[in-house]
């Protein structure tokens, strides 16, 4: 018979493992340059921001919608995403219609282009669309 060695994890080890797991799960992505633009009736907000994954890769520029009473989360409401650092102009054309213009977006780098979110219609004017 052999004796087994049992190690008990210390609290600091457990906390370290928990923090490591949370950082990996969140992707360690920083949100930079966030702008919030409210709909004319104040019911919705569209946020435009850059997601910076650090050493894992380059920027992604994102537009995300949410209800005005909802808290911002980079993981929810994404309606547009383009790899790289691009300029997205937002124009609410009605309470439930928004136009996103990106004259420096390369359409081959667009990862998400959603045309409806809840009861909001999203229209786009991208570089290739303007030609």
Q: State residue 35's pLDDT score.
A: 96
Residue 118 is assigned to a structural domain of this protein: yes
Q: Which two tokens stand for residue 124?
A: 């786009």
Q: State residue 20's pLDDT score.
A: 38
Q: How far apart are CA 119 and CA 34, in angstroms?
A: 23
Residue 5 is assigned to a structural domain of this protein: no
Cβ(88)–Cβ(102) below 8 Å: yes
Residue 8 is assigned to a structural domain of this protein: no
Q: How far apart are CA 59 and CA 54, in angstroms?
A: 8
How many domains would you assign to the chain? Answer: 1
Spans of the chain below 50 pLDDT? 4-7, 13-26
Residue 91 is assigned to a structural domain of this protein: yes
Show the domain range for 47: 30-130
Residue 124 is assigned to a structural domain of this protein: yes
Residue 11 is assigned to a structural domain of this protein: no
Residue 50 is assigned to a structural domain of this protein: yes
Residue 22 is assigned to a structural domain of this protein: no
């Amino acid at each position: 018979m052999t004796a087994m060695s049992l190690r008990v994890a210390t609290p600091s080890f457990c906390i370290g493992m928990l923090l490591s797991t949370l950082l990996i799960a969140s992707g360690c992505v920083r949100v930079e340059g966030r702008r919030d633009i409210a709909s004319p009736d104040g019911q919705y907000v569209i946020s435009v921001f850059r997601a910076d994954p650090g050493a894992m890769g380059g920027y992604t520029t994102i537009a995300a919608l949410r209800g005005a009473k909802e808290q911002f989360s980079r993981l929810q409401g994404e309606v547009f995403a383009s790899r790289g650092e691009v300029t997205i102009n937002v124009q609410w054309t009605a309470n439930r219609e928004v136009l996103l213009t990106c004259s420096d977006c390369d359409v081959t780098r667009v990862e998400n282009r959603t045309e409806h979110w809840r009861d909001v219609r999203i229209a786009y004017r991208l570089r290739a669309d303007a030609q």
